Amino acid sequence: MDIVVNEELKAYIDPLSPEEYEALERSLLAEGCRDALVLWGDVLVDGHNRYGICRKHGLPFQTVQNTRFRTLEDVHLWMIDQHLGRRSISDFQRGVLALRKKEIVAERRARATAGPAPAPEVPASAPSAEAIGSAPPPAPLDSREAVAKAARLSSSQVVMIEKIQKQAAPELVAAVKSGTISINAAAAVATLPAEEQVAAVVAGKDELKQAAKRVRESKRKPREEGAEAQEDGAQHGDELQALRRRVAELTAENGALRRQLAALQASSDAKEGAELSAPF
């Protein structure tokens, strides 16, 4: 059977780095192709790198049909789950794949509620619908926590990956994928204008770190100034309350002194009156 390489499927998962590809090639030359290539009909689904290396060196390989695929979406979801279960991919890649799965599942659920859809296109050599079983529907990833669990990441990491996807220049995304910059730092740099992101990437790893540091410090300064202003306001409020208490105390003391003075004045007047009325 002639194996068909679908370029869209081949590019659906990030390609191996040159170092990873060379390591795989050495492994296949030393040990052979031990894992079967996964097909959907005659379409290659899993094992594109192994297939290319085996053909290059004339190495034998085996194939296996996945009979659960009914649509290209099924293939995409299977590919995502396969890669999410592998330890070799980075945290960023797992986050991107989990978010991609979330979109596919959400679109599928939306179509299901909208009514029956037209029959999907399948390869001519794919097993007939009667010959395959229905794959269980994937669990919905309708919360950030669910996405984080699927990717084995924290919710905060998922938030940062979403920010990178939405705001990062392609050069910055490539830097994250290559491990030149961390997810945390890339999320900070992604808030800069695109030209500043690109300039930081071109300048290298150290400049990327410095750019992330500047962004964090610029965000931290307003918070610190706000905290200082709040503290100053609280201090002024305390001083005002102290002054009010002191005024109240002085007012009370003044009133007491006035009453004492009035009592002394009354006593003095009474004594003077008694002396005037006394006989000579």
In this predicted structure, what is the pLDDT of residue 131? 43
Percentage of the chain lying above the pLDDT 90 cut: 57
Of the candidate ranges 142-146, 161-165, 275-279, the one whose mean pLDDT is the lowest: 275-279
Domain range summary for the chain, segments of one domain joined by +: 1-66, 71-167, 168-259
**For 205, what's the count of Cα atoms within 13 Å in the CB-facing half-sphere?**
6
Between 56 and 13, the more confident residue is 56
What digits encode the pLDDT tens for the residues 67-106? Answer: 999 999 999 999 999 999 887 789 999 999 999 999 999 9
In this predicted structure, what is the pLDDT of residue 82? 92
- pLDDT-derived band at 136 (thresholds 50, 70, 90) equals low
pTM confidence score: 0.69
